[in-house]
Structure 1
Amino acid sequence: MQKKTHAVNPFYCGLIVHRYTEYSKKLTKRLRAALITDLHSTIYGSAQEPILKALQSHRPDLVLMAGDIADHKVPHKGTLLLLEGLKGQYPCYYVTGNHEHWIHQIPDIKKMFTGYGVTVLGGQTIRTTIKGQPLIIGGVDDPHAFTDSHHSIKLDSRWKEQFWRCCSRTSPAVYSILLSHRPELTKYYRDSGFDLIVAGHAHGGQVRMPGCSGGLLAPHQGFFPRYAGGQYALGTTSLIVSRGLCINRLPRIYNPPELVLVDLSPIS
């Protein structure tokens, strides 16, 4: 019914759940990751119930937050409600997006997330074990961490240093995931050593037409973006891009907000 509704109503903005599966010989256990991006402090219901209930229903083993959970123009209430609902329920990992850097209070933003038990990554990787499955999880700050320009697309060497540092800590024996807000940096992501990279930022291209695979416009990609939302093969690295959760900015057309689930599965 949900699928039928948003296929008929171009402005449907109810939350949908989009599932992908990744297979790897490095995996010995089945895991489910939830990917949350681009909330921009949107509030669903009175206290993020639609998002939290969807998570409870699908029971992820970890939650990945790939940037722009907070916003530079919207009060943090929506972000805080989400963090409160996630606290203690799942291992959570977060990297910054451009809008969080535009707040110009990044130490406070990161402290807000760590205060709810979220692991904040910015040029680091960690080794962890979830349900008996070893993982390497890394993350890089949004490139706007290193520029004062709202629209600069030139990558600072410090972002590259963060990225290559994370790549150097991958392992041929351990499944690895990188959180990076920007989907378009595929020149770097391809064959990076990471098995999976998760991103957001493109908001699904904002406007999508039935039967068409891509969106109309995305930041830093322009018209008809290639990486607006979906699952992409970049050599030995997979990229999954969420269309995001924001409904408090530009209208979304045939492009409902989504919670992404990634099932990580061994190869039989």
Structure 2
Amino acid sequence: MTTELVLHSERIPPGFDGYRIVHLSDLHNKRFGGGQERLLNRIREASPDLIVITGDLVDKRRTDLDVAMELVEGAAKIAPICYAPGNHEGTIADYGELKRRLRQAGVTVLEDGAIFVSQGDDTITVLGMRDPRFFSPEDAEGAGKERFAARLRALSEPGRGDFIILLSHRPEMIDLYAACQPDLVCCGHAHGGQFRLPLIGGLFAPGQGFFPRYTSGAYSAGRTTMAVSRGLGNSGFPIRLFNRPEVICLILKRTGGQQGTPLK
């Protein structure tokens, strides 16, 4: 399924009014037809100006770089791609090779770094963070998270005045993100709560446990809006219930009204 989220903000530069960003996450080596063609068709239909991928292209239990690259190489022909790695990339021995192949395909790999994207005379900043597992593989929730937080604060310190998008895998760290004041954060990891029930939502998500709060759609904290993808593939749980794989299309709309207001 494709979900549209519209972000209204007066901080969006005029040149980016109507700018379209396709957000993908958590492929976990899943295939959507030969050469990922069903998924690539969804991306084409969204007519993106930019594609962002927030980790877990591969799965640590069955790593297949070729399946991941089928999607990436096809998507790179549609729009430029920015990528930030997730926790599964942080645990596989082949991450260096994956990174090499991503860059060879023209992908901007953001490992605690920033790039500037221009439209005419206007510019926005895209930041990308590695998952905490890269900082401390044995303690991603403790020491890894602390080191992640310190690096994010350092990356955000210059106080950039332009519109800022942050790519980071885990949505449960929304308070940490909001403290650094990006305008938009793109996350995955929660897999939509895996099993979704009416009036309840997702039942379980890694890093959040049972009845997780951040699993799908848009959430606000201060000036920050966080868009959480339900993801594309499966990992520990082999099936989804009432929780279809998702492509998000984020549309930036410049307004003079309330900042950071998401609409489905």
TM-score by length of 1: 0.88
The yes-or-no answer on 1:165 pairing with 2:157 is no
Determine whether 1:218 maps to 2:183: no
Once residues 90 and 80 of structure 2 are traced to their aligned partners in structure 1, the CA distance between those partners, rounded to angstroms, is 24
Structure 2 contact 23–247 (Cα < 8 Å) conserved? yes
2:188 is the counterpart of 1:203: no
For 1:17, the equivalent position in structure 2 comes to 2
Return the alpha-carbon distance in structure 1 between the equivalents of residues 40 and 218 of structure 2: 24
Preserved CA contact (<8 Å) 1:136 1:170: no
In the TM superposition, structure 1's runs of 4+ consecutive aligned residues that sit over 3 Å from their partners are 130-133
Query: Does the aligned pair in 2 maintain the 1:124–1:165 contact within 8 Å?
Result: no
- Verify the 8 A CA contact 1:205 1:217 in the aligned structure 2: yes
User: Which residue number corresponds to residue 227 of structure 1?
Assistant: 214
Contact 2:21 2:48 in 1 (8 A): yes
Cα drift, residue 116 of structure 1: 0.7
* CA–CA separation in structure 1 for the residues paired with 2:21 and 2:122: 13
**Gap runs ≥5 in structure 2:** 257-264
User: Which residue matches 1:177?
Assistant: 165
Instruction: Name the counterpart of 2:41.
Output: 53
One-letter amino acid of the counterpart of residue 167, structure 1: S
Deviation track 1:83-109 (CA, whole Å, cap 9, x = no partner) reads 120224211100110111111333222
Q: Pairwise CA RMSD of aligned residues? A: 1.7
Please report how far the alpha carbon of residue 247 of structure 1 lies from its aligned counterpart in structure 2 after TM superposition.
4.2
Aligned length: 250
Relative to 1, partners in 2 of residues 1:209 and 1:125: Cα closer, same or farther, differing over 3 Å? same
Matched, 1:263 2:225: no
* Alignment map for 1:1-268 (pairs within 5 Å): 16-27=1-12, 28=14, 29-74=17-62, 75-130=64-119, 133-149=122-138, 152-156=140-144, 157-172=146-161, 174-212=162-200, 214-247=201-234, 249-267=237-255
Structure-2 change in CA distance of 1:171 and 1:152 (3 Å): closer
> Identical aligned pairs, as a percentage?
33
Q: How far did residue 131 of structure 1 move?
A: 6.0
Superposed displacement of residue 133, structure 1 = 4.1
Structure 1 residues 195-229: Cα deviation after superposition (integer angstroms, max 9, x where no partner) = 001100000000001233x2000001000000111
Task: Report if aligned partners of 1:170, 1:176 keep a CA contact under 8 Å in 2.
Answer: no
Rounded Cα–Cα distance in structure 1 between residues aligned with 2:78 and 2:197? 37
Contact persistence 2:116–2:125 (CA under 8 A) = yes
